[in-house]
Chain A
């Protein structure tokens, strides 16, 4: 979209208007869950397991109960009385809320202490005495299915090993045929370790049950309040909590990134505690609990192979993956996709065929994994393909950019049918990479690198040309626990021409209060400042599946446009009535209907809104409002090309990202400033796992990166200056041509950085380095000749 249709005052699409929500955020006046205080509120803290796998022999609560301020201790036995000790995961697996006889991962919830203040419950958990008998642990997922491995889920009938599921996509035989007939085959095992979203706000809730009315209100850190309410009704319907009696409120959220999609045991315990006591119960995790027990992301071991011709033509792709799910499959994927959208792994390239398989296993680690700023395993897929393409380039000694250009799906091939079954909506991959190369001065960089290498200095250039798949999704394929993945918008125009719009999604920093208002401004010509946007309260907002996987603009944003079009259709009838003409004689121009050829004879949307309540035509309902549930016909496929330039300190192994050029294409843009902000944040969250973050375990299953001392979230100091640019290829099927952007940079940044580091070391024989690329890994490559 080159020009804005609306004026800056109206602030429709393409205007970089300031974010409406920031007025309260920058004053520190947001309302987060921990800001909620209810009369008579009590507090909860959680006793957690020091062992990764152990029998619980006894739990003695005597001393805790004797501590001043402690009111109750809840154990698995307490919950069992209400049949609430187990709960379903979003993947139709099961998970303990509190254990009865054994714990299956370190930091697992063991008991909860309820008391009058935050301090006495913190003392109380120290006083609960739990006697454990350690059991053998399964830490290495490759050993999980050994015949002598202990069965972790012996509570599940018929579960005779730690294998959970097998999933595959593509044509195995045809792919094998391609591998047999290609000149070049490159292989690598690529590991993407466990990482954590580490949002600024940890998880928590305030649960308030009114014994008189039977009404439960839960203020909760959730990205999907409606789905959570339904899950609660399904889990606790038998104790009288019907869906109409449950109100879930997701107030301001301090970052979600996928980590606030699942239901964690702490929520359920707090709810049970308030139902039993009739008191409001507050539970807020501390940082260590958040890092150690909440859902992780990634943890994919990928055996990747590409078959190519000597001239660089990519023919076939094969990936066999082992997915470490921890103690339960608590991922947050659509039901039919246990490995998410991992089969997008053919990426931006026109492969003849591909075959992908993934096996999920249980281990003694916290359950997961969530789609951390990533549309369900796309980060893993992009990492695999973008690393492998570089390995092919290295093998046949071809420039990495040239190899990509040669194999990109051409822009006239869209809609493109991928060998793993996706229909890509639109793209122009050549243009994006060319723009990134021109912006950064690719040829000069190659020259500089050559000179530096001769002087013994280490500099690398890395490219990533990713294709994302977002906006889940079409109801024929996408559901969570059976609920279809549509999303919704309900818009009401008030008599004075102002509006309120409500959505089934929930912003956690994305700026929905601004961007949804801009979509409505674009469609109806009502200034975005006249549109209030509300989300997150199940009593008021229309049903929707929530915000994650870059789905808000593709689904709820589309719903807003469609609802506006319903409103506009009615507005036209009212305009015809006011202008005493027929609808056919009217034409729409931003914010008003006028009589064709007589531009002076016009009524504004505000005039029409007033008339809808004061002077509506006979035979037409009064009022001006509409609701739309948008079921997308397809997913959207944002893409981009990133180029990273790194310098390496050979004495210490430190990697410095000197430059990073990100060219993104997310289709039509609603607010360029917000898009750029999303890209900056996402790139930083891509830098993080590339160089710093990892949650690892020792042989006993003890977490070794469970605080911010060891879990290295990069700061502004580590973050390079991001250079950004864009191409615009609208989605042909989306009502406003938008595609979604929040996740592209997180998905695209890691391989660009890794490719740059490997490039810097390639003359030493280095082919691959697993993330995070610590200074030690680099130092070893240089000084110890340790190359993968």
Chain B
């Protein structure tokens, strides 16, 4: 479990980092918290010749509300999210998500940007970001900058819309409406494990009826899976237990699990159904002012 040899670069600015990526080409990898990349290097599943460390770019570490969005800098750590009062108060789904990732030691280093940029369908933030309809902000050479809709970001296992010389700099999440709630529920074999399955749910209510919803699933497909039919069935209803049952079944149908150590396909679908039902109920309670 010793990685191959590599060169280490520690740029001082974002531009310098992008230039390094541009110059070094496909032999270079960004190093953020290192908690997805380094395990792969130690198992020699990844052998990049250059690491460009962006963890010291402190201007990528911020949590703020601006122009109707919650903006998260790419280098915000999981523990940063977990301990933020703003997040706890207005975005409990993000706190739910951070709290079930790995263990405190990993969370102190792992970054939100890395969690998404890695493109691992087993990671927890991708589904949450789908449910939240997030926007991914990406910077490239010569000051270029683009915004990618989260639905277009994840292309396959460990494959995203990011270019080789691009850096994910920010995640933008639309600020919640008056009456809205969200929740992330994950089932793991033991603490610190990746999900057997997990379900992220957001709900907006207007006049007692569900006006919009986001439902997405972790680790039950090649990318995080948006359960569109499940979302739709909730709209315009008061999200009764019957509707929740329907939506949970639709989420289970939308999932595309494969059998592995964490369980068979059939079991994982069953888990998606259970978790989605519980997450909808909890999101609804939160929208109504509960916990």
Q: Mark A614-656, 1 if CB is under 8 A from B, else 0.
A: 0000000000000000000000000000000000000111100
A93-101, A230-238, A556-564, A704-712: which one contacts chain B? A704-712
Contact yes or no, A123 B267, CB < 8 A? no
- In the bound complex, residues from chain A placing their C-beta under 8 Å from that of B261 are 704-705, 710
From residue B246, how far is it (CB to closest CB) to chain A in Å?
16
A714 on the interface (CB 8 Å rule)? yes
Is there contact, CB below 8 Å, between A715 and B196? no
1/0 contact string of A692-728 vs chain B (CB within 8 Å): 1000000000001100011010110110000000000
In Å, the complex CA distance between A118 and B4 comes to 12
B157-199 residues at the A interface, CB under 8 angstroms: 187, 189-193, 196
A779 to chain B, nearest CB (A): 6
Q: Which residue in chain A gives the minimum CB-CB distance to B185?
A: A652
What residues of B have a CB within 8 angstroms of the CB of A715 in the complex? 190-192
**For the complex, what is the distance from the CA of A709 to the CA of B262, rounded to whole Å?**
11
Whole-angstrom distance between the Cβ of A760 and the nearest chain B Cβ: 18
| A692 pairs with B271, CB closer than 8 A | no
Complex Cα gap A111–B71 (Å): 53
Contact present for B190 and A652 (CB under 8 Å):
no
B105 within 8 A of A: no
B189 proximity list for chain A (CB < 8 A): 692, 712, 774-775
Nearest A residue (CB) for B196: A775
Docked pose: A653 CA to B275 CA in angstroms: 12
- Shortest distance in angstroms between A691's beta carbon and chain B's nearest beta carbon? 9
Q: Taking the complex as formed, is A414 at the interface, i.e. its CB lies under 8 A from any CB of chain B? A: no
Query: Which residue of A652, A705, A714, A718 is within 8 Å of B274 (Cβ)?
Result: A652
Interface size for B (C-beta < 8 A) is 23
- Asked if A286 lies at the interface with its beta carbon under 8 angstroms from chain B, I say yes
Which of B244-271 touch A at CB < 8 Å? Answer: 261, 263-264, 266-267, 270-271
Residues of A contacting B267 with CB < 8 Å? 653, 775-776, 779-780
Residue pair A774, B263 in contact (C-beta under 8 Å)? yes
A122 within 8 A of B: yes
Cβ-defined contact, B5 with A288, below 8 A? no
> Does B278 interact with chain A (Cβ within 8 Å)?
yes
Q: Tell me if A287 is interfacial: C-beta within 8 Å of chain B.
A: yes
Contact B264 A776 (CB under 8 A): yes
Chain B residues, Cβ within 8 Å of A704? 261
User: Residues of B contacting A165 with CB < 8 Å?
Assistant: none
Across-interface contacts of A692 in B (CB, < 8 A): 189-190
Known contacts A710-B261, A780-B267; A652 and B187 CB within 8 A of each other: yes
Assess whether B44 is in contact with A126, with CB atoms less than 8 Å apart: yes
CB distance from A367 to the nearest CB of B (A): 23
Any chain B CB within 8 A of the CB of A27? no
Within the complex, the shortest CB–CB distance from A197 to chain B, in Å, comes to 18
Q: Are B263 and A776 in contact (CB under 8 A)?
A: yes
B-facing residues in A261-287 (Cβ within 8 Å): 286-287
B263 touches A652 (CB 8 A): no
**How distant is B158 from chain A, measured CB to nearest CB, in Å?**
16
Cβ–Cβ contact A287 & B190, under 8 A = no
Q: A692–B5 Cα gap in the complex (Å)? A: 36
Docked Cα-Cα span, A226 to B1, in Å, equals 32
Given contacts A705-B261, A779-B267, A779-B270, contact A654 B187 (CB under 8 A): yes
When distances are taken between beta carbons in the complex, the residues of chain A under 8 Å from B1 are 286-288
List B residues at the A interface (Cβ < 8 Å): 1-2, 4-5, 44, 187, 189-193, 196, 261, 263-264, 266-267, 270-271, 274-275, 277-278
Closest 4 pairs between A and B when the two form their complex, measured CB to CB: A651-B274, A122-B2, A717-B191, A776-B267
Q: What are 17 A-to-B residue pairs whose CB atoms are below 8 Å?
A: A126-B44, A288-B1, A651-B275, A652-B187, A652-B274, A652-B275, A704-B261, A705-B261, A709-B193, A717-B191, A775-B187, A775-B267, A776-B264, A779-B267, A779-B270, A780-B267, A783-B270
